[in-house]
């Protein structure tokens, strides 16, 4: 039995969906890992055991790839774009019908406050809806060519796509990668993070209920070094999408290189919000803080650097400190501003960074809720001011609720600081000067630039991905559909 009887109440959302959390989902069937081994999932708010999950390994990945290949040759591979869209539409409806339960599952598993988890579940439904509508709207072109020829292009699926997903936004990342891959007619093998895989399993169950043919979506939980490595190096996989750390992303790319398959890497960042003296500070303030502490800062597109022009610097620091003082931290189920970090390991990484900030001006911290469990992996949100741009806290991705404020003189200085890290995922600019908005949008080295707003990874419709160490390739929007398909050129000689 997969559910820990002592913590049955925590596992009740699993019971709602009716799948066995200790199983893999392969070829439309729930089955234990071939080695019979399990891993234990923890509730990061309390440190209690949630339930057991399958420890899938190379043999399970192999079975999943074979199931996906079979699906490509049979039912799923023959589905028309219209049928794929209808399937995604039904799946989106089912996700919407189960938003509360998916949110509860994610809150328990990831430690994400319920409201934020609910937003992720709604986003998952929205990805299904978006790609349902897009499935039959991606097409090739006819090309002017030689006399006596007709030439055209076809957009075809890669075949079997591998999806390696981290623990911070399982639902959103599954929605954007699996949703787009299925819309283009690929069959997917999904390896969720060992620390948070319950909503991936629930998604598979909902997909089956929506009528997805067996093998079109397979989910193999397990360790990164085992199941993840096996997936990224499997010769039967034709495309890999990976979200996670730079070091693991590099390994995934290296193993995929052996099979010479395309890889999409989304590897996080050190994203800046740049506030000029003429900005609407009241409008900016909530974005400045929320984009840094959302999901306890464990967000690839978190805005961990705040660049503030000197004319409004002190005023804005006071306002930021005021907001920080309101940020409460506690159990995800209490739905406060911040929940715990995912694990003791992640907490220790963040605490080590905080200790490297002992030479800095710590201007504000949040508040621990009285009921927060001592076993929960909680870290108070922390704001440092007057931080030198080359300080380790201003350069490295911390992946916790830590923001640094950096003052600047003018536009040139702001650009040099904003572009002065190895990353380039997201940036935003707060200014009412239209010419400056355009100059900054063009000069910022980032995959997404927001003007007078900040969408931390948001926007199902907006292509998303980075430059530099933030990775390469684009997910979301129509752009993802091009990434999850191959372009074939056909030239017909007819005289």
Contacting residue, 85, 157, 162, 166, with ligand NDP by CB under 6 A? 166
Subset of residues 349 to 368 that bind ligand NDP, contact rule: CB under 6 A: 349
Q: Is 112 in the site for ligand NDP (CB under 6 A)?
A: no
* 409 catalytic residue (yes or no): no
Residue facing ligand NDP at closest CB distance: 224
Residue 442's H or E segment, with its range, is: helix 434-443
Residue whose entry in the numeric block shows the structure tokens 């694990």? 343
DSSP assigned state of 311? G
- Stretch in the footprint of ligand NDP (CB under 6 A) among 8-16, 102-110, 162-170, 366-374: 162-170
Catalytic residue among 205, 266, 397, 475: 266
Smallest distance from the beta carbon of 79 to ligand NDP, in angstroms?
28
Q: Copy the structure tokens of residue 118.
A: 């609910």
Q: Copy the structure tokens of residue 463.
A: 């292509």
Between 88 and 171, name the residue whose CB sits nearer to ligand NDP. Answer: 171
- Stretch in the footprint of ligand NDP (CB under 6 A) among 193-201, 282-290, 357-365, 486-494: 193-201
Subset of residues 238 to 257 that bind ligand NDP, contact rule: CB under 6 A: 243-245, 248, 251-252
Q: Is 224 in the site for ligand NDP (CB under 6 A)?
A: yes
Q: Is 83 helix (H, G, I), strand (E, B) or coil?
A: helix
Size of the site for ligand NDP (CB under 6 A): 29
Residue 361's H or E segment, with its range, is: strand 361-365
Between 70 and 403, name the residue whose CB sits nearer to ligand NDP. Answer: 403
* Torsion-angle region of 428 (φ positive above 0: left; ψ -120 to 50: alpha; else: beta): beta
- Stretch in the footprint of ligand NDP (CB under 6 A) among 114-122, 160-168, 203-211, 383-391: 160-168
Q: Is 404 helix (H, G, I), strand (E, B) or coil?
A: strand
DSSP assigned state of 147? T
Q: Is 112 helix (H, G, I), strand (E, B) or coil?
A: coil
Q: Edge-to-edge strand order for the sheet containing 239-243?
A: 29-32, 23-26, 217-219, 187-191, 160-164, 239-243, 263-266, 471-472
Q: Copy the structure tokens of residue 381.
A: 């949100």
Q: Is 300 in the site for ligand NDP (CB under 6 A)?
A: yes
- Stretch in the footprint of ligand NDP (CB under 6 A) among 91-99, 150-158, 161-169, 329-337: 161-169
Residue whose entry in the numeric block shows the structure tokens 């927060």? 372
Q: Is 229 in the site for ligand NDP (CB under 6 A)?
A: yes
Q: Copy the structure tokens of residue 382.
A: 């922390």
Residues 371-410 as x/- pattern, contact with ligand NDP by CB under 6 A: --------------------------x-x-----------
Catalytic residue annotation: 266, 300
């Amino acid at each position: 039995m997969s559910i820990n009887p002592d913590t049955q109440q925590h596992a009740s959302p699993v019971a709602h969906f009716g799948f066995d959390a200790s199983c893999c989902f392969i070829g439309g069937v729930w089955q234990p890992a071939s080695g019979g081994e399990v891993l234990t999932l923890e509730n990061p708010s309390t440190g209690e055991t949630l339930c057991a999950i399958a420890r899938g390994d190379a043999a399970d990945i192999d079975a999943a790839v074979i199931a996906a290949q079979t699906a490509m040759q049979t039912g799923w591979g023959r589905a028309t774009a219209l049928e794929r869209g209808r399937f995604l539409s039904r799946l989106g409806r089912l996700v919407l019908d189960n938003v509360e339960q998916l949110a509860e599952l994610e809150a328990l598993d990831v430690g994400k406050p319920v409201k934020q988890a609910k937003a992720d579940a709604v986003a998952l439904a929205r990805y299904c809806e978006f790609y349902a509508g897009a499935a039959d709207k991606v097409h090739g072109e006819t090309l002017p060519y030689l006399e006596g020829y007709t030439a055209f292009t076809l957009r075809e699926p890669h075949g079997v796509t591998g999806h390696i997903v981290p623990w911070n936004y399982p639902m959103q990342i599954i929605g954007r990668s699996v949703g787009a891959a299925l819309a283009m007619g690929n069959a997917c093998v999904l390896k969720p993070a060992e620390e948070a895989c319950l909503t991936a399993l629930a998604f598979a169950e909902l997909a089956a209920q929506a009528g997805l043919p067996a093998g079109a979506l397979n989910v193999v939980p397990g360790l990164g070094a085992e199941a993840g490595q096996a997936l990224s190096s499997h010769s039967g996989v034709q495309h890999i999408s990976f979200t996670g750390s730079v070091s693991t992303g590099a390994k995934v790319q290296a193993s995929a290189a052996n099979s010479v398959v395309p890889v999409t890497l989304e590897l996080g960042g050190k994203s800046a919000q740049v506030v000029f003296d003429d900005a609407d500070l009241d409008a900016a303030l909530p974005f400045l803080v929320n984009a840094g502490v959302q999901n306890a800062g464990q967000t690839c597109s978190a805005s961990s650097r705040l660049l503030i022009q000197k004319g409004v610097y002190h005023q804005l620091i006071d306002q930021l400190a005021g907001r920080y003082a309101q940020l409460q931290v506690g159990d995800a189920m209490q739905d406060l501003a911040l929940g715990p970090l995912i694990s003791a390991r992640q907490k220790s990484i963040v605490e080590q960074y905080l200790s490297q900030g002992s030479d800095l001006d710590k201007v504000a911290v949040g508040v621990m809720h009285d009921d927060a469990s001592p076993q929960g992996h909680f870290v108070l949100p922390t704001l440092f001011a007057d931080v030198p741009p080359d300080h380790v806290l201003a350069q490295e991705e911390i992946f916790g609720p830590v923001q640094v404020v950096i003052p600047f003189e003018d536009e040139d200085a702001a650009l040099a600081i904003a572009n002065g890290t190895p990353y380039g995922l997201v940036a935003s600019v707060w200014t009412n000067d239209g010419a400056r908005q355009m100059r900054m949008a063009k000069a910022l080295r980032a995959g997404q630039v927001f003007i007078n707003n900040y969408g931390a990874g948001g926007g199902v419709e907006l292509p998303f991905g980075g430059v530099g160490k933030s990775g390469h390739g684009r997910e979301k929007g129509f752009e993802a559909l091009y990434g999850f398909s191959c372009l074939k050129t056909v030239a017909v000689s007819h005289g």
